[in-house]
Amino acid sequence: MSTAEQRLADALLDLATDGPTDRPFEVPSLLALLTAHATGLLADCAAGAVAPPHHGEGLHVAGSPPAVHQLELDAAGRGEGPGQDCRRSGTPVRPTPLDSPVAKQHWPHYAARARRLGHTHTAALPLRGEADRHGALVLLAPRPEPLCARALSLAESLARMAAVTLGHERAAHAERTRVDQLQHALTSRILIEQAKGVLAARRSVPVDEAFALIRRQARAEQRLLTEVAREVIEGHNALTTG
């Protein structure tokens, strides 16, 4: 395996595991890895990345070097730039000169600022999973000619791996949320059943009547059933002390 192939393999492995495995998954860290590997593999290219909210946070942005990070932050704030177009459409933005009429018309602030940083061309590739859009990888180059097919192919490999990792994490998060919801529902059910039994025994009434009393109080006081149930079990609710 050549040095270049080894570097690509290492980059893909890094993106697949989101770097060190001794810390929780974070979208910003994955995007930072993506842009760092893109700049490392694509010679003089700079890279930016953007991803939509993950767990209710705001838009995630990364860039390498730092000046490109600021460029992409500004682009996210304005909703302008190749990365924003690519993220919204889920389709690539073809290599485009930053001084072209297209760039000046569609990305006036972005194109001007990128040119001031010394870049002449840009392109963007979607971070796209099987069913979802996960963001975009932006490439910026200072060379006089457009980004070549090899550079775009390497960047696409990185973008695909990052998208796979994002997709897996989102699926895992959805499953964790579902399990937490089921656990909460089960805990609540057990609490209410215990309270029904306690109140039925305390007042010598049928279990159904005990539940009706708990529910009536919860509605009258605009409280959760579980709150009233917990008080009944602990013995400091008016239903059990009255």
Ramachandran region, residue 70 (left: φ > 0; alpha: ψ -120 to 50; beta: rest): alpha
Q: Quick one: CATH architecture of 3-174?
A: 2-Layer Sandwich (3.30)
Its CATH architecture, for the domain 177-241, is: Orthogonal Bundle (1.10)
Q: Please list the residue range(s) of the chain that carry CATH number 3.30.450.40.
A: 3-174
| pLDDT for 28 beyond 60 | yes
**Interval 221-226 mean pLDDT:** 87
User: Secondary structure of the chain in the HEC alphabet?
Assistant: CCHHHHHHHHHHHHHHHCCCCCCCCCHHHHHHHHHHHHHHHCCCCEEEEEECCCCCCCCEEEEECHHHHHHHHHHHHHCCCHHHHHHHHCCCEEEEECCCHHHHHHCHHHHHHHHHCCCCEEEEEEEECCCCEEEEEEEEECCCCCCCHHHHHHHHHHHHHHHHHHHHHHHHHHHHHHHHHHHHHHHHHHHHHHHHHHHHHHHCCCHHHHHHHHHHHHHHCCCCHHHHHHHHHHCCCHHHHC
Q: What is the pLDDT of residues 199-211, one digit of tens each?
A: 888 888 888 888 8
- pLDDT at residue 205, rounded to an integer: 86
The residues of the chain that CATH labels 1.10.10.10 are 177-241
Residue 210 confidence (pLDDT): 85
pLDDT value at position 81? 95
Entry pTM: 0.69
pLDDT, the chain, mean: 83
The predicted pLDDT at position 166 comes to 82
pLDDT in tens, 167-197: 777 776 677 778 878 888 888 888 888 888 8
Banded pLDDT at 143 (limits 50, 70, 90): confident
Q: What is the pLDDT of residues 85-105, one digit of tens each?
A: 999 998 999 999 999 999 999
Higher local confidence (pLDDT), 97 or 57: 97
212 pLDDT tier (thresholds 50, 70, 90) = confident
